[in-house]
Structure 1
Amino acid sequence: SKMTVGQWLDIWLETYLSNVRPYTVLNYTQHINNHIKPTFGKVKLDKLNTHMIQQFYNDLGTAHENKPGLSPKTIKCIHGIFHKALQQAIEIGYLRSNPTTACKLPKVERKEVKSLDNEAIQSFIKAIRGHRFEVIFLVTLCTGLRRGEVCGLTWDSIDLERGTIHVNKQLQQVPGQSGNFRLTPTKNGKSRTITVASFVVDALRQHKVRQTEARLKAGPNWQDEGFVFTDEVGHRLSPNTVYHNYKRIVASIGLPKARLHDLRHTFATVSLHAGDDIKTVQENLGHATAAFTLATYAHVTEEMKQDSANRMDQFIKGVFGA
């Protein structure tokens, strides 16, 4: 084919991704425009080869002057997009083979999962008491919602009578537009319903009363967007604002390196230690598979296996009087 890579990628984005979520298409477009097109945009599609693509991936991971290289995870994502686009070109006869298939990708290291221990949880709950974001932090800690999911919660997703939260969307930054957020589907595109502890329901009830008072105080200035967590005039909270407030709080209790996402890991860890089965934890967290949940929290399950062995040891000793 005399078609260039850039021309084919434009056709692919416009024609062959109709069944893909809009946010995913935006993500694909950003990676194509920022990385693939600048290097291969003018190259003829049938002149692509594995060697040049491998050099491209290697270069993406290399630091240039003051600019660090891309992470292995990002390179893997770019490779996935490129591979998928070229695979489509094969299916319609523009290419005979996919030159990305034989490329070697940098190993993606699984980051160590960190969660708050019991002492840190107690200190954190004490520190947020009375803070204007107390309830949003409490909900995050006790449900494992992602930052975008908790910031995107609307009252029509919460059933205070049944004590459930229906998670079907998230507040995400528009790619390439810093500070501009919009509601999109959840990370895996699926909704889930979480049953929450009664004290979380009570906290949400009280929060709704305070929000009603704020609405009356704001009068015509109130922006009724339906969000659970808002500023003084009803506008949704920026996930960045929530994050920065969290960082100040954890720094004040001696945990400056704690991330907001650690609250999600804490929920999962506490759930597993409390005896929740892995399928329940997976569904509450919104993971695609239980295998992913098991892999992510392998250290917790290993601890639980050891605890189980210790209990069995004590039982046997009790039975045999050892």
Structure 2
Amino acid sequence: MGDIKTIHVVNFINDLKKNGQRLDGKTGKLSASSVLNCYKAFNNVLSCAYKWKLIKENPPIGAKPPNGKAKKSEVYSKEELSQLMQLLDDKPLFWKTLILLAVSTGAREGEIAGLEWKHVDFEKGTIRIEQAITEIKGKGVQIKGTKTGKDRTVSVPEKLLEVLKKLELTSRQDKWKVRDLSEWPDHFFIFGNEFGKPIRPDSIGQWWRRFTKKHNFKHIRFHDLRHTSATLLINEGVHAKVISERLGHADISTTMNIYGHVLEEADKTAASHFDKFFEKKA
């Protein structure tokens, strides 16, 4: 530990920003917040060692901490969302339902892929999100818990329930046709193929990109449908705590950090309403 220099800390941070550093089997880079958290953990260890006089100086002091803020996400406006709904009208029920669910619930790709029919309560109008699908190299798709390890129940709109009922009917017909040929006999995924295998999370994003390109529609990442969902709810005056629970954030501070700029804009709009209250009547 005594051999660690400031340059080693700098190289460590830079390496974390490169491709191939994820340990969850997913492609792509670590998020800005993950890089910052790794830096903080490393810094805390060395700071403790310095306080205990195990090392003569604290190497991270000379290193610039990484920026933990992610780039501002693009989202759809109300008008763009209305256009999207029109484009989905003549699309296969499978994909129409999936996109409606993504926008309505703000669920992550893996969580959507992991949904089973047992998670839908048509009477209460809710969906239980308690697992996700991930793809591991050499092992294929696997079931895991949600990102935060917390289950949540999300209320869904009537329109989504209608298309879910139609999709469930066709899903049960497909399941009956294959019978013993089902690849996942102990599970009944909402977005599975005819043999019951769940959709791969990355194939959702691939379809989404082809869809927006084909229709020359403004493209945002599929994950940004989650941000669109949250932003629209904020603009409609829904409490941040409710939005935090719908998104499955570990706590409300996560929601405030991600959507702070949207909440600030909504707060300014709210404050402007007082102008009419304070106006003097002629």
Range into which the TM-score falls when normalised by the shorter chain: 0.7 to 0.9
Q: 1:168 aligns with which of 130, 147, 150?
A: 130
- Partners of 1:172 and 1:181 within 8 A in 2: yes
| CA pair 58-289 structure 1, distance change in 2 beyond 3 A | closer
Residue equivalent to 1:134: 96
Q: 1:53 aligns with which of 1, 5, 8?
A: 8
| CA pair 169-80 structure 1, distance change in 2 beyond 3 A | farther
Residue equivalent to 1:300: 262
**Distance in 2 (alpha carbons) for counterparts of 1:260 and 1:205:** 24
Residue equivalent to 1:118: 78
| CA pair 81-321 structure 1, distance change in 2 beyond 3 A | closer
Q: Deviations over 1:119-171 (max 9, x none)?
A: 21112112222323111111111000011111111222221211111111111
Q: Which amino acid aligns with 1:53?
A: H
Q: Which amino acid aligns with 1:205?
A: K
**Distance in 1 (alpha carbons) for counterparts of 2:100 and 2:141:** 23
| CA pair 311-253 structure 1, distance change in 2 beyond 3 A | farther
Residue equivalent to 1:201: 161
Task: State TM-score, norm by structure 1.
Answer: 0.71
Residue equivalent to 1:290: 252
| Displacement of 1:207 | 1.1
**Distance in 1 (alpha carbons) for counterparts of 2:102 and 2:200:** 15
| CA pair 82-301 structure 1, distance change in 2 beyond 3 A | closer
Q: How many residues align?
A: 265
| Displacement of 1:100 | 6.2
| Displacement of 1:72 | 5.0
Q: Which amino acid aligns with 1:48?
A: D
**Distance in 1 (alpha carbons) for counterparts of 2:197 and 2:79:** 35
- Partners of 2:17 and 2:35 within 8 A in 1: no
| CA pair 124-57 structure 1, distance change in 2 beyond 3 A | same
Which ranges in structure 1 are unaligned for 5 or more consecutive residues? 1-45
Q: Which amino acid aligns with 1:294?
A: M
- Partners of 1:75 and 1:105 within 8 A in 2: no
Greater Rg, structure 1 or structure 2?
A: 1
Which ranges in structure 2 are unaligned for 5 or more consecutive residues? 19-27
For residues 44-83 of structure 1, the aligned pairs below 5 Å read 46-57=1-12, 59-60=14-15, 73=33, 75-79=35-39, 82=42
| CA pair 116-227 structure 1, distance change in 2 beyond 3 A | same
Q: 1:279 aligns with which of 220, 241, 265?
A: 241
- Partners of 2:32 and 2:70 within 8 A in 1: no
| Displacement of 1:77 | 4.9
Q: Deviations over 1:10-32 (max 9, x none)?
A: xxxxxxxxxxxxxxxxxxxxxxx
Residue equivalent to 1:309: 271
Q: 2:189 aligns with which of 227, 231, 237?
A: 227
Pairwise CA RMSD: 3.1
Q: Which amino acid aligns with 2:98?
A: I
Task: State TM-score, norm by structure 2.
Answer: 0.80
| CA pair 69-191 structure 1, distance change in 2 beyond 3 A | closer
**Distance in 2 (alpha carbons) for counterparts of 1:193 and 1:256:** 31
**Distance in 1 (alpha carbons) for counterparts of 2:110 and 2:29:** 27
| CA pair 184-106 structure 1, distance change in 2 beyond 3 A | same
Residue equivalent to 2:149: 189
Q: Deviations over 1:205-224 (max 9, x none)?
A: 11110101222333443333
Structure 1 SS opposite 2:82: helix
**Distance in 2 (alpha carbons) for counterparts of 1:62 and 1:146:** 23
| CA pair 151-70 structure 1, distance change in 2 beyond 3 A | closer
Q: What is the identity percentage for the equivalent residue pairs of Structure 1 and Structure 2?
A: 23
**Distance in 1 (alpha carbons) for counterparts of 2:201 and 2:215:** 22
| Displacement of 1:248 | 1.4
**Distance in 2 (alpha carbons) for counterparts of 1:62 and 1:150:** 28
| CA pair 81-314 structure 1, distance change in 2 beyond 3 A | closer
Residue equivalent to 1:243: 205
For residues 2-13 of structure 1, the aligned pairs below 5 Å read none
